[in-house]
Amino acid sequence: MSADPVETCLPFLKWAGGKRWFVTRYPDTVPAHFGRYIEPFLGSGALFFAVRPRQAVLSDLNPELIATFEAIRSDWKNVVSLLKRYQRLHSSEFYYRTRSSHPRSAHARAAKFIYLNRTCWNGLYRVNKYGQFNVPVGTKQTVLFPTDDFSAVSLALKNTSLLASDFEPVIRQSEPGDLIFADPPYVTSHLNNGFLKYNERLFSWNDQIRLRDCLHEASKRGVRVLATNADSPSIRHLYGGHFNIRAVTRLSAIAASAARRGTTTELIITSW
């Protein structure tokens, strides 16, 4: 069996480009049986929390994100205690004061990360050239939700390896029978994708090529590969011939104005 016989839990972060839509509409895309689950672009971890694998390697280049997951795994009660305090104190002034703060403890840093994620504009994670989070306050007033279950999140993370790393060494450690889910920043060869400006270190077209090469090598080793990416001719050409590709539709809700939101297509890429 690939997952523990327990209920799935919801991701605790909202993430630009997150895969909640994928979990809801295309759950059967994930194989029923596999070895380790490996996700080198973690984000909110929506698919991980839906699948609940027994063993997983979760990685992201964002060290604050990984540190937040580590704190929830080891000390979720103290994180939630601080979030309750932030809920009472939340205001625009408190948001900006918290955004500029530098907490020392792991649980306080995690609480800050989650608080900003839930109250900033559109749940966006963006930093300036100095690596400082600079998203303005949003309209959301809720810091803790009735659906929150940080105890279940901590349990789901119990048998995971959490790494702040580039994707390449993570993918190279995969073994036959493992499942890789790769959901990289959506960058095309034209470099005109909106998600580019949200990344401190731009995920370039050369990175897309490097990712494809890593996934192809993993597939040849007997690793199952599941990936998502932008529906563009350049991405189709990049993965064509080595992987199976299909376009799927989803709602786009990240644009600033409602007029720019609507249905878009993305690619699901598999090695089987």
Amino acid 97: pLDDT: 98
Task: Output 202 or 10, whichever has higher pLDDT.
Answer: 10
On average, the pLDDT of the chain sits at 91
How many of the other CB atoms lie within 10 Å of CB of 100?
Answer: 9
- Assign residue 43 a region: left if phi > 0, alpha if psi is -120 to 50, beta otherwise? left
Residue pLDDT, tens place only, 155-183:
999 999 999 999 999 999 999 999 999 99
Confidence of residue 230 (pLDDT cuts 50, 70, 90): very high
Indicate whether 201 pLDDT > 60. Answer: no
- Does residue 145 sit in the same domain as residue 55? no
- Residues 4-23 have a mean pLDDT of 83
Residue pLDDT, tens place only, 74-105:
999 999 999 999 999 999 999 999 999 999 99
Domain contains 41: yes
**Which CATH number belongs to the domain containing residue 115 in this structure?**
1.10.1020.10
Amino acid 2: pLDDT: 53
**What count of residues does the chain have?**
272
From 149, 180, 203, give the residue that closes a domain: 149
- Does residue 176 sit in the same domain as residue 261? yes
Interatomic CA distance for residues 126 and 111, integer angstroms: 17
Domain contains 4: no
What share of the chain in percent tops pLDDT 70?
89
Interatomic CA distance for residues 177 and 109, integer angstroms: 36
Structural domain count, the chain: 2
CA angle 49, 64, 86 (to 5 degrees): 85
The residue segments making up the domain with residue 94 are: 65-149
Amino acid 119: pLDDT: 98
- Does residue 42 sit in the same domain as residue 113? no
Q: Helices in 59-197 by DSSP H: which ranges?
A: 63-89, 92-99, 106-119, 150-156, 167-172
